[in-house]
Structure 1
Amino acid sequence: MWRVLLVEDQAIVRQGLKVILEQDENIKVTHEAENGEEAIEILNQYSIDFIMMDVRMPVMNGIEATRIIKKQWPEVKILILTTFNDDEYALEALKEGANGFLLKTADSQKLIDAVYSCMSGGLTIHDEVAAKVMPRLLQREQKEAISIDLSPREITITKLVGEGKTNKEIADELYLSIGTVKNHITQILQKSGLRDRTQLAIYAIKHDL
């Protein structure tokens, strides 16, 4: 059974969430808190598996609490639940390590499904929020790709690796020796911090090179 901590400053909302979540036999709301500071105090005393947390709360908000909790208790799963369809909140929450972001308009089954998803290592983002957040996350990734100091030749080779070309095919296409291509790939891996050719291919596809 998963031990759940509800962090929400409105008691009536906490009561409603508890009733919904405990419809599932694998979920037990063992503790409640009115803000992030209280949540941290509870975590210092009790073992918690999952936290469902509001964003806007007095004393300490959900974003700051997520940052602190994920540093001290990285194994604890955190789902942000809020009334605000704000992509900045979602981006900040995910950046600090939240395992999901749902709006309070979600139905009962979606809340329970979100718990299961987070506990199994998934990332749950409300559809309305995802529509705003995902394009911005992709833009960030593209900027990160550009920020790596690759030469025009290295970018071309990375693109060809992403297309599944072998060293010989790349060498033939660029009129280089196979040894030169291998040297370039070694340099690219060192600059990017990637482990091998497979990771480089995934990187090229992910960053649309």
Structure 2
Amino acid sequence: MTKKKICIVEDDPDLRDAMGLMIQYTQDYELSGSFKNSEEALENIPVLSPDAILMDINLPGESGITCVRKIKSKLPQVLILMCTSYEDEDKIFASLQEGATGYILKTEGPAKIISALDELFEGGSPMSGSIARKVVASFCNFENKKLISEGLTAREQEILDLLSKGLMNKEVASILEISQGTVRKHIQNIYTKLHVNTRVEAVNIYLKR
């Protein structure tokens, strides 16, 4: 059976070497190349045309997220697994939006990384448990806000958003250039539509806390 070619993009030399050895010791994969930054990766990976890439995010120069986008524009078929220490939601979604197929944490260890590669080639999108929970929570929060927005007018959404930032009626009125009485009327409509009785309840629903 032909081994799948894997490239590594990781700036830490010890970790890069360790990951390279990890790949070489497997039966199904072979190390096609390892690179310390985005520039090296972009110069060599399109020529090597690997089957998959293990990609760090925090690289010197261009980030791994930018590298993902540029590599996918040249090799749209390549599978990219983010292998990083970041659990930041912005970085998770930015990576996936740019074309990464999976996202795991370095702390998971060698066995998890190899298992994630197996899952990639089986058609899956491997993620560390904590990352998957963040993705699900973010999706649920988005759907919750979407449902709220469908029931509220644009002005009511504006007011609820300002209330969620801790602003008082007087401040909301000043920002939106309307009277405090109008603000109170909108808030009462928000309460009715969300089936709540207090500002705290309305804001909690909006923020899904």
User: If the TM-score is normalised by the length of the shorter chain, which range does it land in?
Assistant: 0.5 to 0.7
Corresponding residue of 2:18? 16
Shift of 1:120: 2.1
CA RMSD of aligned residues (A): 2.1
> 1:129-163 CA distances to partner (integer Å, 9 max, x unpaired)?
11122221344466678999xxxxxxxxxxxxxxx
Structure 1 SS opposite 2:108? coil
**Aligned letter for 1:79?**
L
Larger radius of gyration: 2
Structure 1 SS opposite 2:133? helix
Gaps in structure 2 of 5+ consecutive residues: 151-209
Cα distance in 1 for residues equivalent to 2:79 and 2:149 = 31
Contact 1:83 1:105 in 2 (8 A): yes
Cα distance in 2 for residues equivalent to 1:42 and 1:145 = 47
Cα distance in 2 for residues equivalent to 1:89 and 1:75 = 22
2:117 is the alignment partner of 1:115: yes
Contact 2:32 2:48 in 1 (8 A): no
**Equivalent of residue 138 in structure 2, options 125, 136, 139:** 136
TM-score for both structures, normalised by structure 1: 0.65
> 1:29-74 CA distances to partner (integer Å, 9 max, x unpaired)?
1101111221111123222111001000012111111111122211
Are the structure 2 counterparts of residues 141 and 52 from structure 1 closer, same or farther at C-alpha, using a change threshold of 3 Å?
A: farther
Structure 1 SS opposite 2:117? helix
TM-score for both structures, normalised by structure 2: 0.65
Are the structure 2 counterparts of residues 97 and 146 from structure 1 closer, same or farther at C-alpha, using a change threshold of 3 Å?
A: farther
**Aligned letter for 2:60?**
P
Which runs of 4 or more aligned residues in structure 1 lie more than 6 Å from their structure 2 counterparts after TM superposition?
142-148
Shift of 1:10: 1.2
> 1:79-118 CA distances to partner (integer Å, 9 max, x unpaired)?
0011122222111111111111111111221111101111
Corresponding residue of 2:169? none
The within-5 A match list for 1:17-56 is: 17-56=19-58
Are the structure 2 counterparts of residues 50 and 141 from structure 1 closer, same or farther at C-alpha, using a change threshold of 3 Å?
A: farther
Identity of aligned residues (%): 31
